[in-house]
Structures are given as structure tokens and as C-alpha cells.
Amino acid sequence: METYVAALDQGTTSSRAILFSRTGETAGMAQHPFRQIYPRPGWVEHDPMEIWATEKQALAEAAEAAAPGQIAALGITNQRETAILWERATGRPVYNAIVWQCRRTAAICDRLKARGLEETVAERTGLLIDAYFSGTKIKWMLDTVPGLRGRAERGELCFGTVDSWLIWNLTGGRVHVTDYSNASRTMLFNIHTLEWDQELCAALDIPLSLLPEPRPNSETYGTVAEGIPGLEALAGVPICGSAGDQAAALFGQACFAPGQAKNTYGTGCFTLMNIGETPARSQAGLVTSVGWSVKGKTAYALEGSVFNAGSAIQWLRDELGLIGSAPECDRLAESIDSSGGVYVVPAFTGLGAPYWDMYARGTIVGLTRGTTKAHIARAVLDSIAFQVTDLIRVMEEVRPLTELRVDGGASVSDLLMQTQADLLGLPVDRPVQVETTAFGAAALAGLAAGVWRDFDELERLRRSQRVFRPHREGAECAGEYRQWRRAVERSRGWIENEL
């Protein structure tokens, strides 16, 4: 009888569930979108109950591809820095989830910097002080929503990133944990000791009782509870793998050796390099996180984050109405040879690495009377490749790359992948299994459940679908990259007051 591992892939715009066979192939899949909530400019929220409802529905539908007893384990991967607070007694959220993209806590970050905490945060957590991470989102809720601080101090509330929220609900409220990779994105977790940092929690006035127990990425946290509507057939299945989406993708891409790197093209872009068992600090705007901890060994990752990538294509579709679907962006972009000197900087929620500018805003430069929507579509695709090039250039200051492994929704674009290879001057390797984020979560769970023996067995499952090699002249690409950097400078410092 075939054995499957289920993965919950809870993303920024949709909830998905995928079943994987022992050979790493997709056996079943379901996906459901949920609302994006924008209360004010720069603010982004989700309804935690919608996250749970859509993820539960996706899991129930994907599980229909398996017979009873065939699902051996369940793994979770998730949007990472998004912060949720809920009642310990009832499991009800006390506020909407504050999404990783949200910039409302920029002023809190400025005050922390003014207190001289930047070096402490960087040394202990591997991160920079930025509204991106969870810590200031928790503080904002406790300080702003009436009654929450008192309830938190009395131990009545739980905090979690989305992994914790899903595990809590899947286990019927019995388990309040997070994994090391997600914990390391909160700005509260000491990546050297693998524990919550009491001094940083005190600096942000966050009670330790609020926080989940940090655990390794591949071990049994609990089992699916009985009586969850729609998931009755999964009752008793062990939940035994968890990793933030980007760490899961690094694992799913089989980047097990130091120096191997991947980029995920999703709502944002995230480039991670395995740097081995010793955390290293970047001096050029990259951050260091836990990649995974498996069987007593911890691997760290150097990371650069682009806040808006695939979301820029969604913007063309949903807000501007220039395209009717994401594939149409590709078709338009392919209809012309270049962007005609148009550059789009999609800094809708500020700029991530290597700039870390919370106040940058989106910019289009180079428009002429002859600019068409095809030029803008091409410039949006180019902007994704330019932003990844920004990350790789500073990453190579730590360790040179020989190739870039890619995944995520936008990696299906041949034009984007070829543009990326040209700008980097490196091969870009797209695997057969593009669902590497979900497979990474499944692989971590499968290791704990004995579905796969070791890393070597997982590495043999990865196969290349296509390798894109540089075609264009380096001087031409360098000139375009210089123009991109000029466009970035025009987007920066646009808003310098409190959001």
C-alpha cells in the first residue's frame, strides 16, 4: 500500500495542502484563497479564522486522494513573521493577524534603534530591527488593543506565527509550540542558545508566558485531534514536521551542503544560502536565521528578503487592471524585446534587503509617450529579477555561488528565469518538483515518521526540469542593473513620517 505525507502550505494569499508519495511526486492537491485586509495605507491583516478554515478545507480535499491509513505524517510550512494572538481558553483570536508585509510598527522600530538595541538584536537573533519581524507586531497589539496587555500578563493569551496557530487548531488546543526556523523570525529568539531571549522580550514588554515552546523541525509535536469537522479520517496522524516557508524551500531544494542556495519567487522573493552549523553575520543587509534542526544538528541560513515580487504581478491584475491573469503578464512581456527604458520599483511596503528602507514607496521611472502596458509588464518582471540580483550580489560577498536553485509560482516563467540567469551570469536550476516549499515540510515530517531514511535519500529525489544559462552580454546586463539602482534611489525616503 502506498504511503503518503501531507503538507500544509499556508501562504500569504492562499492556503494549500499537498500529498506527496515516497518518490516525492504530488498525489493530491487543493488550494483556497482568503481575504487580504488593508485597514490603512501600509497596513496588512488576515483573519486567523479564515486562515484555519481555508487550510482545513484544503487538507480535507487533498486527503481524498488517499485511502484510510495511507497518510503517515503531516508537515507544516507557513508565512513566517505574521503574528497572531488568541485566547488560551477558547482558541478565539483577539485581533486580526498582522501580516509580515505590514509596516505599522515602523515607529516602534525607530524607538528601539534610538535605545541602542540594534547590535543586541543583530548579535543574538541574527536579524535587523524592522517592522517585518514579529516582535514589534506583538508589542503593537498589546499596547494598542484595549485589555490585551493585562490579559497577556495574566497568562490568558497565546502568541504564535501561523505554524503555531495551525498546530494549536489541529491538536484541538492541546499543543502550543513553534519550530526553530519560525521562532528565529520573531526578533525575540536567540539563535545561539535556541531559546527565547529574556532580555529582548523584556525590552519589548512581551511576557514569556505568551510565547510557544520552541522545538526542532523534525519531531512529533502532537497528533490530529478527533472530531475536527472534515478531518475525521486524519485523526491520530502525527504532526511531525514544521518550518517557515523559506527554510522549508531550502530543505525541499536539497540544499543540504554549506554554500548551496535557492530563491523562491512568491508574493515576495527570498534567497537563502546554507551556511552550515555556525551562524555568520552579514555586513550588507542580510539576516541570519535557523534553517532547520534535525536529529540534533542545526543548519543556519543567510537570507535576503524582497517584500514585493509576485504581488507586483497581482497589482497589475487587481489594482491597475492591465492584465486579466498572471500568465498574461508573461505573454505581454514576451511581445517586446525590452522594457524600453521603463523601470518599476515595487516598494509597496518598503524595501527589504539589502536596503531595509521602511519608508520607500513604489516608483515607475522612464515613461515616455510610447510606453505601453507591455513595457510596464516587462518592467515588472524585470524588477523581480533585479531585486534577486541585489540579494545575490551581497550574498556572494560571504561565499561565491555556482548556481541558483529556484522555485515558487513565478519560477514557471521562462522569460523571468532567463532574465535572472543573464543578470547573475549564473545557471538557474528549476526542478521538476516546483512545490519545493511544501515538499520541504513533507520531507521534515517524513524523516521523523520514517518514510525517508536520511538526507541522501531525499537528495536523490530532486531532479532538474530545466537549467537556464546566461545568454546576454555581461556589459549590457550591467548597464541595465545600474539604471535599476538609480530607480531604487528615487523610491527611497519617500515617506519619513510615522505610518
- Total residue count of the chain as it appears in this document: 499
Residue 243's nearest CA partner among 404, 432, 3, 10 is 10
Q: What does the pLDDT read at residue 402? A: 84
H or E element that contains 363: strand 363-365
Per DSSP, the residues of 165-198 read HHHHHHTTT---EEEHHHHTTSS-EETTTTEE-H
The DSSP 8-state label assigned to residue 250 in this structure reads: H
Instruction: Please report whether residue 416 resides in a domain.
Output: no
User: What are the residues facing 177 on neighbouring strands?
Assistant: 213
**Range of 200's domain?**
4-246
pLDDT single digits (tens) 224-247 = 999 999 999 999 999 999 999 999
Q: What is the pTM of this model?
A: 0.86
* Phi, psi of 21, deg, nearest 5: -85, 175
| Residue 498 pLDDT exceeds 50 | no
Average pLDDT, the chain: 94
Instruction: Please report whether residue 327 resides in a domain.
Output: no
288 burial type by CB count under 10 A (0-12 exposed, 13-18 middle, 19+ buried): buried
pLDDT single digits (tens) 350-397 = 888 888 887 899 999 999 999 999 999 999 999 999 999 999 999 888
What's the CATH number where 131 sits? 3.30.420.40
Structural domain count of the chain: 1
Instruction: Please report whether residue 191 resides in a domain.
Output: yes
**How would residue 497 be classed by pLDDT, with cut points 50, 70 and 90?**
very low
Average pLDDT rounded to a whole number, residues 89-102: 96
Instruction: Please report whether residue 427 resides in a domain.
Output: no
Contact between 472 and 338 under an 8 Å Cβ cutoff? The reply is no
**Type of residue found at 275:** I
**How would residue 268 be classed by pLDDT, with cut points 50, 70 and 90?**
confident
Instruction: Please report whether residue 180 resides in a domain.
Output: yes
pLDDT single digits (tens) 412-446 = 999 999 999 999 999 999 999 888 999 999 999 99
| Residue 495 pLDDT exceeds 70 | no
Average pLDDT rounded to a whole number, residues 92-109: 95
pLDDT single digits (tens) 130-141 = 998 999 999 999
| Residue 92 pLDDT exceeds 50 | yes
**How would residue 494 be classed by pLDDT, with cut points 50, 70 and 90?**
low
CA atoms of 157 and 335, how far apart (whole Å): 54
Instruction: Please report whether residue 129 resides in a domain.
Output: yes
Q: What does the pLDDT read at residue 349? A: 84
Instruction: Please report whether residue 438 resides in a domain.
Output: no
**Type of residue found at 302:** L
Q: What does the pLDDT read at residue 267? A: 83
| Residue 312 pLDDT exceeds 90 | yes
CA atoms of 163 and 351, how far apart (whole Å): 25
**How would residue 91 be classed by pLDDT, with cut points 50, 70 and 90?**
very high
Instruction: Please report whether residue 449 resides in a domain.
Output: no
Contact between 118 and 200 under an 8 Å Cβ cutoff? The reply is no
